[in-house]
Amino acid sequence: MTGAAGFIGSHTCVDLLTAGYRVIGVDDFSNSSPHAIERIREVVGPDVAGNLDFVELDVRDGAALGKLLGGGGRGGGPVYAVVHFAARKAVGESVRMPVEYYDTNVNATLRLIEAMREHGVRRLIFSSSCSVHGNADSLPIPEEAPARPTNPYARTKWICEQILSDLCVAEPDWRVIALRYFNPVGAHPSGLLGEDPRGIPNNVMPYLQQVAVGRLAELSVFGSDYPTPDGTGIRDYIHVVDLAEGHRAAMEHLDDQTGYRVYNLGTGTGTSVLQLVAAFSEAVGRPLPYRIVGRRPGDVAELVADPRRAAEELGWRTKRGLADMCRDAWEFQRRNPGGYDGVAG
Ligand code: UDP
């Protein structure tokens, strides 16, 4: 699992370990903390923690990847599958640093494919994003809606999807699932794992979490003149534990398919920024300060998943609602006000 110390990676690692998988986690900690690996071990408990190995490496380092995959899985057998989370993921940053985004997101995926091919590993679960759709013509968004990425980050994900799809045509023994995430939020209910971005958060939920613990003064709500009921942007927020379970469902489905398949992972329900602020304030027990400001360039009014394909083919559905997402996110932030590394407020 590349990107195992990240927000979605760490939760998926817990889910897979708990389900009995052995995991080799990989991360270079460029946007995550080594403490997340310790927390994964703490959450799963001592009996299961031994099924997690960890290797620090940069996924662009093809030689290191080859060495890792060539060394086989835990217990000496071959690696069964790769879950590839590691990537850069901030839209605004990608506009300023496109070369770094193409390098980390596209080149690393190519190096990974080469290393997998060299060592006979041909099952892959790839992290994609609903942002590949750009401005949707209609909602909710099914997988076959046209891809029209509007920024370098989304283009890197769309390019990787096309590479993987082409690969599966050329080499039919590959089994690849791309999962397009909508807006992952929340935290592990233990309060031990959660979202802990470095620097000032780009995304609305970690920003709100840091407002709630006083690290940030108030949320800027980007635009109240969208064609939505309250004028603020609507997104499909999905609990990160539901998302982790989606990866396990995909893993369990890999051998029932050949070639390439993409799934949208969302709830199918939209929530506006103001509804999110209200729900999070409810979880915290006091109103959180916010101010309406102008629109953020590149934002779209509304993104909501049509998750039916994942339900029908993977047997996966979300189980957790907005109140659960807010309660768990707050529990993590309350217990870790300075994040994993204890950054002062
Ligand atoms: N948003 C906001 N203030 C912030 C960050 C985000 O109002 O500080 C809004 C943003 O305009 C969008 C929604 O919250 O409508 C979700 O944005 P986020 O960056 O979390 O995810 P995105 O959907 O852009 O991937």
Per residue in 272-281, pLDDT (tens digit) is 999 999 999 9
| pTM of the complete model | 0.97
The answer on pLDDT for 72 being more than 80 is no
Residue 220 CB–ligand 1 contact under 6 Å: yes
Residues 153, 207, 226, 290: which is the catalytic one? Answer: 153
Residue 74 confidence (pLDDT) above 70: no
What integer pLDDT is reported at residue 77 of this predicted model? 74
The separation between CA 140 and the C-alpha centre of its own chain, rounded to angstroms, equals 20
Identify the CA nearest to 186 among candidates 178, 197, 194: 194
Q: What are 182-228's pLDDT values in tens digits?
A: 999 999 999 999 999 999 999 999 999 999 999 999 999 999 999 99
Name the closest-CA residue to atom 12, ligand 1: 233
CATH of 7-335, one of 3.30.300.30, 3.40.50.720, 1.25.40.10, 1.10.1740.10: 3.40.50.720
pLDDT score, position 129:
97
Task: Confirm if 262 and 92 have CB atoms less than 8 A apart.
Answer: no
Q: Averaged over 267-294, what is the pLDDT?
A: 98
Q: Which atom of ligand 1 is nearest to the CA of 129?
A: 25
DSSP 340: T
Tell me, what's the pLDDT at 135? 85
pLDDT digits (tens, 9 = 90+) for 17-57: 999 999 999 999 999 999 999 999 999 999 999 999 999 99
Predicted local distance difference test score (pLDDT) of residue 120: 95
First to last CA, the chain: 32
Tell me, what's the pLDDT at 345? 47
| Ligand 1 in reach of 151 Cβ (< 6 A) | no
Eight-state DSSP code of residue 217: S
Residue 28: CB within 6 Å of ligand 1? no
- The reply to whether omega before 140 is within 30° of 0 (cis) is yes
Count of Cβ atoms closer than 10 Å to residue 294 Cβ: 11
- Number of Cβ atoms within 10 Å of the Cβ of 122: 19
b/e map of 69-102 (b: 16 or more CB within 10 Å)?
beeebeeeeebebbbbbbbbbbbebbeeeeeebb
Residues 6 or more apart whose Cβ sits within 8 Å of residue 145: 133, 136, 137, 138
Average confidence score pLDDT of the chain: 96
Evaluate: CB of 221 within 6 angstroms of ligand 1.
Answer: yes
Query: Is the model's pLDDT at 11 over the cut of 80?
Result: yes
- Distances, alpha carbon 339 to alpha carbons 7, 53, 200, 215, 307, in Å: 12, 23, 12, 11, 32
Mean pLDDT, residues 112-117 taken together: 97
Strand partners, 261: 177
Task: Please tell me what DSSP assigns to residue 232.
Answer: S
Q: What is the pLDDT of residues 218-269, one digit of tens each?
A: 999 999 999 999 999 999 999 999 999 999 999 999 999 999 999 999 999 9
Which atom of ligand 1 is found nearest the CA of 207? 8
195-233-186 Cα angle (round to 5): 20
Residue 338, Cβ density class (10 Å: 0-12 exposed, 13-18 middle, ≥19 buried): middle
What is the structure's pLDDT at 92?
Answer: 87
Domain boundaries, the chain: 7-335
pLDDT above 60 (res 62): yes
- Is 153 labeled as catalytic in the residue annotation? yes
Cβ within 8 Å of residue 169, ≥6 positions away: 259, 260
- pLDDT class of 71 with cuts at 50, 70, 90: confident
Q: How many CB atoms lie within 10 A of CB 61?
A: 15
User: How confident is the model over 172-183, as pLDDT tens digits?
Assistant: 999 999 999 999
